Structure 1
Amino acid sequence: MSKSARSIFVFGIYLGVFGLSMLIIPNTVLGMVSIPSTNEVWIRIVGMLLFLLGYYYIQAARKETTDFFQWTVPVRSSIILFLTTFVILGLVKPIIILLGVIDLAGAIWTGMTLRTSK
C-alpha cells in the first residue's frame, strides 16, 4: 500500500468508527462536541452515511485509486471552513472545529504523500 493510500485508509477507519459511534451512541458523540442530545433519527442517518463513506475510503485505498485520493484533498480541506462558519454564525460551539482540524490534517497528509510520490 502506498503512503497516500495508507493516509486514505486511516481516514476511512476514522470515518467508519465515527459513523458507527453515531449509529450506536449518538448522544455521547454529540455531547463530546457540545451539541444537544436528540432522539431524532437524523443523527443515526448521518452516522450511517459516515460509516458507508468510510467503506468507500477503505476500498479506494485498497485499490490505489489515486484519482479519488486527489479529489479528497480539497474537499476535506474545506470542512474546517464550513465548521468555522457555523461557529461564527453561532450555530455550534467552537469545539466542533476540532473535527475540521482532523479533516484538514488528513487532507494535508494525503496531499503531501501524493506530491512526494510524483
Structure 2
Amino acid sequence: MTVSDPDWRAPVDPPTPVTPVPFGKPWSIWAWGGLISSAGLALAVAPRPVLTLLHAPVETASLPWVRFVGLVLLAYAMGYHVAGWTGQRTYMRASVVLRVFSVVVIGAFVLLDWLPKAWLAVGLADFAGAVWTTLELRWRPKPKAA
C-alpha cells in the first residue's frame, strides 16, 4: 500500500541532463529521433507516397498495418527524444549497436530480394547516425560522480 502525501507536487523543471553536453543536446540522438518521428508520421498519415518513394508498393488491404507501423515508429522515436533530453548514455550506446545491426539486416534483405535496393539508403543513413553517435559519445566527457 502506498502512503499519499497531499503536499507532494510533480517537479516543475525538466530533469538535469545526466551527460554534460556543450550545446545542451546530444545532436545525433535528437536528429535520429526527429528523422524517425518524421518517417513515422509520414507512414501514419500518407503511407502511399512514402512507400512509392521506397519502391515498395503495397496492397490497399495492407495500408492499416502500414499506418500502425508508423505509429510504432513514433513511439520508438520517443525513446530517442527522451534519451536526448535526459542524456542517457546507456540508451545511446545501445542504439549504436541496434543501428549498426540494422544496416546488416537491411543489406541481407536486399540481397535476398525481400526489399528493393532503395531501402539500402535507409540502412546507410542508420549506419551513418550510429557512427555520429559513437563519435559524440567519445567526445563528450562522462559525468563525474559526486
State the TM-score, normalizing by the size of structure 2: 0.76
Unpaired stretches in structure 2, ≥5 consecutive residues: 1-19, 142-146
Give the Cα–Cα distance (whole angstroms) in 1 for the partners of residues 115 and 27 of structure 2: 32
1:69-88 matches, within 5 Å, as 69-88=92-111
| Matched-pair contact (CA < 8 Å) for 1:79–1:100 | yes
Bigger radius of gyration, 1 or 2?
2
Give the Cα–Cα distance (whole angstroms) in 2 for the partners of residues 23 and 86 of structure 1: 23
For 1:20, give the aligned amino acid. Answer: L
1:1-20 matches, within 5 Å, as 2=21, 5-20=26-41
Quick one: which of 37, 48, 51 aligns to 1:30? 51
What is the percent sequence identity of the aligned residues?
Answer: 25
Give the Cα–Cα distance (whole angstroms) in 1 for the partners of residues 59 and 36 of structure 2: 21
The alignment covers a number of residue pairs equal to: 118
Q: Does 1:57 align with 2:76?
A: no
| Matched-pair contact (CA < 8 Å) for 1:8–1:61 | yes
Post-superposition shift, 1:37? Answer: 2.8
Greater percentage in helix: 1
For 1:34, give the aligned amino acid. Answer: H
State the TM-score, normalizing by the size of structure 1: 0.93
RMSD: 1.5
For 2:109, give the aligned amino acid. Answer: F
| Matched-pair contact (CA < 8 Å) for 1:12–1:58 | yes
